[in-house]
Amino acid sequence: MLKINELCASVEDKAIIRQLSLDVGPGEIHAIMGPNGAGKSTLGNVLAGRPGYEPTAGSVTFKGLDLLDMDPEIRAREGLFLAFQYPVEIPGVSNMELLKAAVDARRSHAGLSELSAIDFMKMAREACKAVDLDQSFLKRGVNEGFSGGEKKRNEIMQMMLMEPSLCILDETDSGLDIDALQVVARGVNAMRAADRSFIVVTHYQRLLDYIVPDYVHVLANGRIVKSGDKSLALELEAKGYSWLEDEVA
């Protein structure tokens, strides 16, 4: 699904990701944990193609394609989805308008016919229900005036409608109360499939009680310093991150 090979990346000429390698197979869930400033969010943004996040060396292939060579919209149409840590408020553009444009773009890229307005509406309503958002959210401006939890649930709703093959959740759990966290986790778990992979970026172990990862990686100083199974997350929770940094040093 995704092969990251010795990737280096900079933000404002500052090296953040240093020779990071990671292999994500189809159907797998990888959790990426680490202290603040380790480069967790940078990794997600580099993969999604955010301007200003510059890959400087290494390579990334996504479904066999050169990911770094694609514009952000092409990455999305190929099936990469980034759930934002801080979803952007866009007054004046309705959620519905964004979703229809997004799904149309993804489908036409895949050579599929566009959904009729009625079929799409039905899908969108179901997605709303799945993340416990009232249907009125479809008509509202994108994230406009949404609470923190509503923004994150809106991200998951978009993810459901776009049916991506690789989902990157960038600290989707931060700032969520336990109810919202469970809604998000339920949404993710419902989407698990043999041909769909997840990278769950998080600072806290709590989320992983609900979204159980196949692999846990610890990111520190721009590279993966330790990998393991879900028990590593518990160990990190108990011991914090500093022992790892000591170990690496």
Partner 1 sequence: MSGEFQQAALTLAGAQHFPAWLTDARAQGAAVWQGLAWPTRKTEAWRYTSLLPLENAQWQPAQARQLTDLSELVELDAYRLVFVNGHFAAHLSTECPAALVRFSEADSAQQALIREHLNQVADQQQHLFAALNSSWLQEGVLLHLGANQRLDKPVYLVQVSDQADAQAMNARVLVVLESGAEAELLEHFYSTEADDKGWMNATTECVVGANASLRHYRINLESEQSLHTGGVHVRLAQDARFNGFTLANGSRLKRLDYHIKHLGSGSDLQLNGIYLPRNQQRVDYHTQVEHCVPHCTTTEVFRGVIADSARAVFNGRIHIHPDAQKTLAEMSNRNLLTSDQAQVNTKPELEIYADDVRCAHGATVSQLNDEALFYLTSRGISEAEARVMLSFGFVNELVEGVALEPLQQWLRPRIAQMFGQNDQLTRHIIHD
Q: Using CB under 8 A as the criterion, which residues of the chain lie in contact with partner 1 when the complex forms?
A: 48-51, 71-73, 75-77, 82, 84, 87-88, 90-94, 96-98, 100-102, 104-106, 109, 117, 141-142, 158, 162
User: Min. distance of Cβ 237 from partner 1 in angstroms?
Assistant: 31
Helix H or strand E encompassing 141: strand 141-142
- β-strand 166-170 against 90-94: which pairing, if any? unpaired
Which tokens sit at 89?
A: 């408020």
CA distance 186 to 192: 10
Beta carbon nearer to partner 1, 200 or 218: 200
User: Min. distance of Cβ 100 from partner 1 in angstroms?
Assistant: 6
Beta carbon nearer to partner 1, 16 or 142: 142
User: Min. distance of Cβ 178 from partner 1 in angstroms?
Assistant: 27
CA distance 4 to 212: 22
Beta carbon nearer to partner 1, 71 or 246: 71
CA distance 23 to 82: 18
Closest of 32, 13, 19 to residue 218, by C-alpha: 32
Beta carbon nearer to partner 1, 51 or 64: 51
User: Min. distance of Cβ 223 from partner 1 in angstroms?
Assistant: 25
